[in-house]
């Protein structure tokens, strides 16, 4: 019960965080507060104050507004990428394990080729070939992280495909599609969901890393990594321009990691 209370508490924190970030982005888009792209050189490098709670950057743009505006971009890209790799990786793993034989060997050889390179380095290479942009960044991350879901789903299917209830379903005349969707997937989805919850933070960090290197969403998109990349040249003059986006990134990643750990504990005990 304590575990369930903890996961509810962390889920509420996550929902409050997401709602606050998305609401803040909506307020910014409605021009109810400072616009994130409006420049005012006269207000450049303003320290945090009542009007600009996180200060301003080298062009006089409000750092707090840019953080709120960029939150929607970061969370949207991370969730979209996790959903894509979840579907693709699970489909590959289930197909390889259930079909077996030459299909399994070919698909696993492909995963080994992708696994031979460090994840972020491969993502940088793919993003460099595709070019900048939010869609290309999601594709670059998706081309790397689907391997985790493919290997995990394959191992899960191998552990349950010869179970008694699967044999009973085959005897009753159930076809491969019915067996996969009615009997296999419902019994293996929990570990995949936990992995997806933990991977959201990894995707947010990877997206910020690509943007920091200039391979993320094209400017002037106020993504957290891009904001820190712009601020690194004047970090000594205005450290708040890189500290506050970094703190927003840190808090978001920690919350998603805590939620994933709580989900894993509950599922393991259940």
Please give the pLDDT value at position 122. 84
Query: Three-class SS of residue 159?
Result: helix
Please give the pLDDT value at position 32. 47
Tell me how far apart the alpha carbons of residues 116 and 109 are, in angstroms, rounded to a whole number: 11
How much is the average pLDDT of 67-73?
79
The full set of domain ranges for the chain reads: 2-35+55-269
Phi, psi of 62 (to 5 degrees): -70, 120
How much is the average pLDDT of 169-197?
82
Tell me how far apart the alpha carbons of residues 23 and 17 are, in angstroms, rounded to a whole number: 10
Q: 262 with 3: CB under 8 angstroms?
A: yes
pLDDT of 20 over the 70 cut: no
How much is the average pLDDT of 238-256?
87
263: which DSSP letter? Answer: H
Please give the pLDDT value at position 173. 80
How much is the average pLDDT of 2-18?
66
Alpha helices, H only, the chain: 2-29, 63-99, 101-115, 119-130, 134-160, 164-171, 176-179, 189-212, 224-231, 240-269
pLDDT of 212 over the 70 cut: yes
Task: Identify the residue with better confidence: 10 or 39.
Answer: 39
Topology of domain 2-35+55-269 in CATH is: MetI-like fold (1.10.3720)
How much is the average pLDDT of 164-192?
82
Tell me how far apart the alpha carbons of residues 144 and 165 are, in angstroms, rounded to a whole number: 34
| 88 membership: H or E segment, kind and range | helix 63-99
At 111-160, the pLDDT tens digits run 888 888 888 888 888 888 888 888 888 888 888 888 889 998 998 888 88
Tell me how far apart the alpha carbons of residues 176 and 170 are, in angstroms, rounded to a whole number: 8
Please give the pLDDT value at position 33. 57
Give the pTM.
0.79
What's the token pair of residue 14?
Answer: 């996550």
How much is the average pLDDT of 10-33?
60
Tell me how far apart the alpha carbons of residues 199 and 201 are, in angstroms, rounded to a whole number: 5
Any idea how long the chain is? 270
How much is the average pLDDT of 43-63?
83
Q: What is the CA radius of gyration of the chain?
A: 22
Q: What value, to the nearest 5°, has the Cα angle with vertex 76 and ends 74 and 82?
A: 100
Task: List C-alpha distances in Å: 201 to 55, 255, 257.
Answer: 26, 8, 7
How much is the average pLDDT of 209-226?
80
Please give the pLDDT value at position 31. 47
Task: Identify the residue with better confidence: 1 or 93.
Answer: 93
């Amino acid at each position: 019960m304590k575990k369930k209370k903890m996961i509810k508490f962390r889920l509420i924190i996550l929902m409050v965080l997401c709602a606050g970030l998305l609401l803040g982005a909506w307020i910014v888009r409605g021009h109810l507060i400072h616009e994130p792209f409006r420049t005012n050189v006269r207000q450049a490098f303003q320290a945090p104050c009542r009007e600009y709670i996180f200060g301003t950057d080298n062009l006089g743009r409000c750092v707090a507004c840019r953080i709120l505006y960029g939150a929607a971009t970061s969370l949207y890209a991370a969730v979209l990428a996790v959903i894509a790799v979840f579907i693709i990786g699970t489909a590959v793993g289930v197909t390889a394990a259930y079909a077996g034989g030459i299909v399994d060997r070919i698909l696993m050889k492909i995963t080994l080729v992708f696994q031979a390179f460090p994840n972020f380095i491969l993502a940088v290479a793919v993003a460099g070939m595709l070019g900048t942009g939010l869609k290309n960044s999601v594709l670059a991350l998706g081309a790397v992280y689907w391997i985790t879901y493919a290997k995990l789903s394959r191992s899960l299917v191998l552990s349950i495909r010869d179970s008694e209830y699967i044999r009973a379903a085959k005897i009753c005349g159930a076809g491969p599609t019915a067996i996969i969707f009615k009997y296999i997937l419902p019994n293996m989805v929990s570990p995949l969901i936990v992995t997806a919850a933990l991977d959201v933070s990894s995707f947010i960090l990877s997206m910020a890393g690509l943007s920091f290197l200039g391979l993320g969403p094209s400017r002037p998109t106020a993504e957290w990594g891009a904001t820190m990349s712009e601020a690194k040249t004047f970090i000594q003059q205005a450290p708040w321009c890189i500290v506050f986006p970094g703190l927003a990134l840190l808090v978001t990643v920690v919350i998603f990691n805590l939620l994933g750990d709580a989900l894993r504990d509950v599922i393991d005990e259940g």
